[in-house]
Amino acid sequence: MAAAYAQLIREAPDDFRIHTSLFTDPAIFEEEMRRIFEKTWVYVAHESEIPTAGDYRTTYIGKQPVIVSRDDEGNIHVLLNICRHRGNLVCRDERGSAGTFRCNYHGWVYKNSGELAGISHPQGYPESVGRDLSGLLPAARVATYRGLIFASLSDQVPSLEEHLGAVRPYVDLWADLSPVGEVRAHRPHSFAYEGNWKFQMENGADGYHPRFVHECAFQTMAHFLSRPVRDSSGMQDIGAIRGFPGGHSILERPGMVGIDPSLFREYTDLLAEQHGIERTQRIIAGYNILIFPNVYLMDSNIRVIQPIRLDETVVHSHYTELCGIPDYVNVARLKDVQWRLGTTGLIGTDDMEIFAAAQSAMQASAMPWLRLSRAMDSEVIEPSGERRADINAESSQRAMYREWLRLMSAS
């Protein structure tokens, strides 16, 4: 199979193409769940979602259901959400607080650390039943970085810090949007679209499409929000695209957050007091940061990509409150993210329409190759492996698919 996947991505010095079967072949989708989501680090939650002992939330690693819990001692666990008896979901609630999880099928009970706490009516079983079961199956690896919780179902992964690699300093910039380095992720606005998960993965670090896809949104904002359209095509050609080893990517656009500068004065003074003026300018520069394969860190939200089927994806957009800043600044940030993102905004709906249209169009088998070669001849390649180009480049997408191919081709 490794050789077969290598035939689906073609890279030459001046050309980069991917095959449409990456979006249309159900067998490839199932292999992505096994070879990517089950073999690397995957974002599962933010620490602020389970702040105290007993707190939990449920989510997925690929298609596998998991519980992210904080036990009575405050330790974080990521547990497969499947009863060791008959395979039922142990926890059906999205979030809550509990000392134990009780399967509602036959009443088996597990501690919030995952240990098997009790078997209902044990007298019906041989005495040995349960002794070989430690409890709910844990993820092979769990680690946190700057409040972000990641898990891997494979123990053959590098440390989380190694996985983040050269994108790690940008994660620090994102976390340091709070002068005290603390962010609270709120309950998500969740929405689904009829398209492959990789459309959303590509889109968040794509600076080429906004002037076309969001032209009407920019005009509407200019009219009703008194925000000028920044050039005749809707966006300025400022900023950069960065692609990293490991598939991580960044769209960097100064001024991406459109809050009244007068509201920023007190906030930026707090940042400058903590970090100095130069680092403060880097912190507020404006980044969309993809941590491959499933999470974007944006100025005001964490966007989590959850594959459902080949042509169905759910996106969870968590507004992130910054600690240590005036309340009115957070209110302004919330209003800003509301009109821009998700199904309640002016921009997210445009993207979902494009995703569905692309999923439909790629059924045209006579046109099997997609081109991602923009700015290949002008990339700056750093010693770290980072590739940087202008805001309209496709360096980020190429980085994603290089990592896609590496993982899909691994033995």
Residue range 7-38, pLDDT digits in tens: 999 999 999 999 999 999 999 999 999 999 99
Specify the pLDDT at position 231: 45
Contact 108, 120 (CB under 8 A): yes
Q: Based on DSSP, count helices (H) and strands (E) in the chain, helices before strands.
A: 13, 23
pTM for the whole structure? 0.94
Specify the pLDDT at position 149: 98
DSSP conformation class of 159 = -
Specify the pLDDT at position 136: 97
Residues of the chain with pLDDT under 50: 231-235
Ramachandran bin of 3, using left for φ above 0, alpha for ψ from -120 to 50, beta for the remaining angles:
alpha
Specify the pLDDT at position 341: 66
List all residues 6 or more positions away from 245 whose beta carbon is below 8 Å from its beta carbon.
165, 166, 384, 385, 386, 399, 403
Specify the pLDDT at position 258: 54
Q: Which helix (H) or strand (E) holds 118?
A: strand 116-118
Report which residue type is found at 135: G
Q: Which helix (H) or strand (E) holds 328?
A: helix 327-340
Query: Of 198, 203, 153, which Cα lies nearest the Cα of 35?
Result: 153
Specify the pLDDT at position 233: 44
